[in-house]
A and B are shown apart, each in its own frame.
Chain A
Amino acid sequence: MTKRMFEIGGGSLVTRRSALKFGAAGLAAGSMLSMPAIVRAQADAIKIGHLTPMTGFLGVLGEWAVQGIQMAAEEINAAGGVMGRKLEVASEDSINPDTAATKAQRMLERDGVAFLMGEISSASALAISQVAARNKRLFMALGPRSDTLRGKSCNRYMFCTDIPNTVMVNAVGSSLMRDNMVKGKKFAAVTSDYVFGHDLLRAAKAFFDTHGGNIVSDDLVATDVTDFSPYLLKIRQAQPDVVCLNLAGNQVTNFVKQYAEYGLPFPTVGFNLNTADAWAAGLGNLAGTWPTVWYHTLDNPASLAFVEAFKTKYGKIPENHAWIEYVSLKMMAQAMEETKSTDSEALVDYLEKGAEFDILKDRKAYFRSWDHQLIQEAYPFSVKADATDVIDMMELGAAVPGADESLEVIYPTREQNPCSL
């Protein structure tokens, strides 16, 4: 085999690119091209490919994602790295599913990354996860929340760290139930028209069906829509008790600003919100109850220390995507340190075995072996009426599930989730 490779490598018909690839494969048998510099670099640093949208309707979240993961890398490196090696995280803009897949392939094939992390769009995450599975390399999906992604489209090499749609619905739902805002109530739903929105609507419908709420109107909105006024008039026509929002990214900001502008009287609940989108709405525009995976006021020493460190470094409060990227890289560092490996198979096996991770919350988190979701606490939060600063505008509710319940009660069950690994 080795001999054959030498022959091919010397042949004039082979392109430089494939020669390099063969060269990398043939290293164990002795180097034939001038590779030592590359070899040394690989031994020094562990490269990680990080994809996240920095433009488009989710683009405003990407900056936080990059800052969070880079801060984690710096902290890990300052403490001596992983197995004595430095981490090198290359962050790139994934824009859309096509670009995400192309860049993922390039990162694995040419840039020599050990594994992939990132993404916020569920559609792009699906594309990346297919590339990762084909290459048998680990992909830690940090921001996407679609249940379908984690159910029907799950695979051995993908792990998901943010809370899924079902959990967001359950987190808000628990607080709605407490306020008697579900049973017998009429809901007008407005939903983002792509995989994530459809999925969130499905989770919301399942929740209302179980608890006696009715969806009386149900409108899909394309992701590039920035003016919601015709939809607002439709909501008025439906005369609901509650408006239920299944929107994503900057759609949320545009919607709540225009909802306040038209002054409709119905209370709103949202099943998806990122704090950057809430802050962007400005004072006096956001209302209602929303779910969150984490918020900077979470009263926990580790979490508060993270917020302080982030503020010192970037001069601003971290958003939930900064937090998720930060704790996720720390989880991967723990996994590599424990397995003494960067090999995807070894890391997958480790994560599947139920290792516990400190994610700056009261309870530790772990990956469920049969669907690879990070099982953790979630929170409802509501809008303070008298806030004077956008950063101060949300009030975090108590963690769900309660301390005496299993963390899994808010997650999709085996019956609800078609994934089996």
Chain B
Amino acid sequence: MQFVFLMEQVVNGLVLGGYYLLIALGLSLIFSVGGIVNLSHGAFYALGAYVSIEIAKYLGFAGGAILSPVIVGLLGILFERFILRRFYTADPILSLLVTFGFAMIGEQLIRILWGAAPIPVSMPAAMKGPVMVGDFLFSRYRLFLLAVVVVILAGIWFLLNKTAFGRVVRAGIQKPDMVAALGIRLQPYMTAVIVLGVGLAALGGALFAPITIVHPAMGAEILTVAFVVVVIGGLGSFWGVIVAALMVGVVRGVTIHFVPAAGAASMYLLMFLVLMLRPRGLFGERIEKFE
């Protein structure tokens, strides 16, 4: 039976990893296009949760979860056009400061619009409760979350690897000058990727709202985990983020199984070990801007 419980933690950890993945992937995407470390990613996540709740009042949970990322993603156009665009070639410290400032403005804005008190949200009754497979227990809602994450991952992989859009983006990440010399304007592609990243954050917020507390500072909480995941995986690496997110989830679950009090510390320890062996993260490439 002990083995079953441990396996249960491992599987739950993998699901939990999927849960971190949604936020970390957007963060990593935004980083890879302009070298922007987007500290306001958490604010978009929080905004996604709040907007989805407003929409859900009229269109139900599914309506909120689908429309909120679209609406918040469109805000990403403004964010790219008026803020990020100025910092692609600047010292990374500047974009760090600006996005950090934006995170604070975003949190305060939410506080003004919706108040500091948390918003009560419950999940649709049909999704609540466990699913038992033999001795294994899973959360029905998280299995749904996992399915969404898998679909999104597949979609993004397809977009980046199998479409003309993806080829330009990948080329733009590697050799922006060459792309420009070929007569392709990179700017709209940059904007699209940022919109995608911001939309993913908002989708995360909308999907996590039923299982976590919805309050103005919720973005800051998730951002820490997302950063640890991105750093372990290696900045800007698609597969790095996936492997790292799953690792963090499993390591947390297994640590909590044996030493509950060390649960929160375990992911930092993992980060420490990985960075000792691979200073750029598991799949990280050399990034000139930061070296």
A interface residues with partner B (beta carbon < 8 Å): 54-56, 59-60, 62-64, 193, 219-222, 224-227, 229-231, 233-234, 236-237, 250, 253-254, 257-258, 260-264, 276-277, 279-285, 316, 390
Contacts and interface: CB of A to CB of B under 8 A. Distances in A.
B137 A229 contact: no
Interface in B234-291: 252-253, 256-257, 260-261, 263-265
Contact of B260 (A226, A231, A277): A231
A264 B212 CA distance: 17
A56 B217 contact: yes
B31 interface: no
B3 to A, nearest CB: 12
A276 B120 CA distance: 10
Contact of B120 (A222, A230, A263, A283): A283
Nearest 5 CB-CB pairings of A with B: A280-B118, A222-B264, A263-B129, A219-B260, A282-B120
Most buried by B among A59, A234, A264: A234
A62 B118 CA distance: 12
A250 B215 contact: yes
A60 B118 CA distance: 7
B122 A280 contact: no
B5 to A, nearest CB: 5
A69 to B, nearest CB: 15
A260 to B, nearest CB: 6
Contacts of B122: 257, 282-285
B248 to A, nearest CB: 11
Contacts of B212: 226-227, 254, 257-258
B252 A230 contact: yes
A388 to B, nearest CB: 12
A55 B137 CA distance: 35
Contacts of B141: 261
Given A56-B217, A230-B9, A264-B130, 12 more contacts: A59-B116, A222-B265, A225-B263, A225-B264, A233-B5, A257-B122, A258-B212, A261-B210, A262-B130, A262-B137, A279-B118, A281-B120
A402 to B, nearest CB: 34
A284 B120 contact: no
A250 B212 CA distance: 9
A226 B222 contact: yes
Interface in B13-58: 13, 15-16, 19
16 contacts: A59-B215, A60-B116, A60-B118, A219-B261, A222-B265, A227-B212, A229-B12, A229-B142, A233-B5, A253-B118, A254-B212, A262-B129, A262-B130, A264-B130, A280-B213, A282-B121
A234 B13 CA distance: 13
Nearest to A316: B117
A233 B9 contact: yes
A260 B261 contact: no
Contacts of A258: 211-212
Contacts of B210: 257, 261
A283 B210 CA distance: 11
Contact of B139 (A56, A262, A277, A283): A262
Interface in B211-234: 211-215, 217, 221-222, 224
Contacts of A237: 5
A235 to B, nearest CB: 11
Given A220-B260, A224-B221, A230-B253, A250 B5 contact: no
B7 to A, nearest CB: 10
A231 B5 CA distance: 12
Contact of B213 (A219, A226, A264, A283): A226
B139 A261 contact: yes
Interface in B99-116: 115-116
Contacts of A263: 128-130, 139
B27 to A, nearest CB: 17
Interface in B69-112: none
Contacts of B224: 224
A196 B116 CA distance: 24
A158 B15 CA distance: 47
A132 to B, nearest CB: 27
B263 A250 contact: no
Contact of A261 (B128, B261, B265): B128
B192 interface: no
Given A59-B217, A224-B221, A262-B137, A193 B128 contact: no
A21 B221 CA distance: 42
B120 A280 contact: yes
A279 B122 CA distance: 11
A279 B120 contact: yes
Contacts of A54: 116
B256 A231 contact: yes
Contacts of B9: 230, 233
